[in-house]
Amino acid sequence: VAIHVAMEQQTISIAKAGITTVLNSRTSVLAAANPVYGRYDDLRSAAENIDMMSTILSRFDCIFIIRDVRDENRDLSIAKHVMGVHMKASNLTSLGSQKNPTNIDSSILDLKSLKDYVAYCRSRCSPRLNNETAALLSSEYVAIRRAIKERGDHAGGRKHQAVPVTVRQLEALVRLAESLAKMRLETTVQPRDVHEALRLFKVSTMNAASAAPQTSGVELRFLGDAERLQVQNAEQFLKQRVPVGADAKTMLLIDEGVALGHSDFALKRAVKIMSNRAELTELDKGRRLRRLR
């Protein structure tokens, strides 16, 4: 609960050893967490993967979902970047040992200058919204809320939002826009700052809030050939065992499948895949299954 107040009101209350006071808490919070299943499962919604209280998630300005996708080109790019970081670090170390290094790139800003510039921006500049940018932010916020409502209605009322979009997210957009203007030492927020803040918000928090289970081409992506075959066989067993329109007890189906040689993992994975394809629906909190088509 203490971190809720610290992130919302930038204050921390202390009541200990006869001391009762309120201290200012003005710092940025950068947090990272693993999915609840250890690895992000594309067959589950973002809310199921994150499994954290919305009251804490809504206090972050930007939330990024980072998936470990096995892609050769992407892996090669990451490997080159990591190797480049180590190579540049060794070059800087050798240059630092020289008294008068001459081959340092003049376009690279040294760390001290960057810190001084950030400190100067924070102490000397406090940009604010004007009528134009305030109206632009308000209209975009209303449009985002409307789009989320329409998406929820189209999904039949199913909720896939990990982070509810509320007034806190509007305040996050204001902070992002003001920060962008502050970097240029502007006195007012410009429309381009609002557009960039909206872009950052949409590729981060909006994607996390609207991420739904994927069902096209991802069901068997991370499985080996043997596991993929087991899941396909388990799916055929479920289709033969449960006719269209019929109900069956989930545990009874799993036990029958295991008795016939199917693995427990393959059966549960097949149930999840068929549910995401709207071929099965779970009833009574997952204790029963109904075949839809």
Question: What are 201-224's pLDDT values in tens digits?
Answer: 988 888 877 666 555 454 555 566
DSSP letter for 110, please.
P
Does this model's pTM top 0.75? My answer is no
Mean pLDDT is highest, among 105-119, 183-197, 220-234, 239-253, for 183-197
Beta strand 11-16 pairing with 247-249:
unpaired
Look at residue 9 and give its three-state secondary structure.
helix
Digit-coded pLDDT (tens) for 131-166: 999 999 999 999 988 888 887 676 555 455 667 788
Quote the pLDDT of residue 221: 54
Phi first, then psi, for residue 143 (nearest 5°) are -65, -40
Query: Are 30 and 40 within 8 A, CB to CB?
Result: no
Token pair of 107 as six digits: 């376009």
Split at pLDDT 50, 70, 90, the class of 280 is: confident
Neighbours of 213 (CB within 10 A): 20
Split at pLDDT 50, 70, 90, the class of 56 is: confident
Quote the pLDDT of residue 110: 82
Residue type, 270: A
CA 79: distance to chain centroid? 23
Share of the chain above pLDDT 70, in %: 82
Query: Are 148 and 86 within 8 A, CB to CB?
Result: no
What are the CA-CA distances from residue 200 to residues 94, 131, 172 (Å)?
38, 22, 11
Quote the pLDDT of residue 216: 46
CA nearest 245: which of 201, 289, 204? 289
Query: Are 68 and 39 within 8 A, CB to CB?
Result: yes
Query: Are 135 and 143 within 8 A, CB to CB?
Result: no
Digit-coded pLDDT (tens) for 57-101: 888 888 888 887 777 888 899 999 999 888 876 665 555 555 455
* Distance, CA of 173 to CA of 144 (rounded, Å): 12
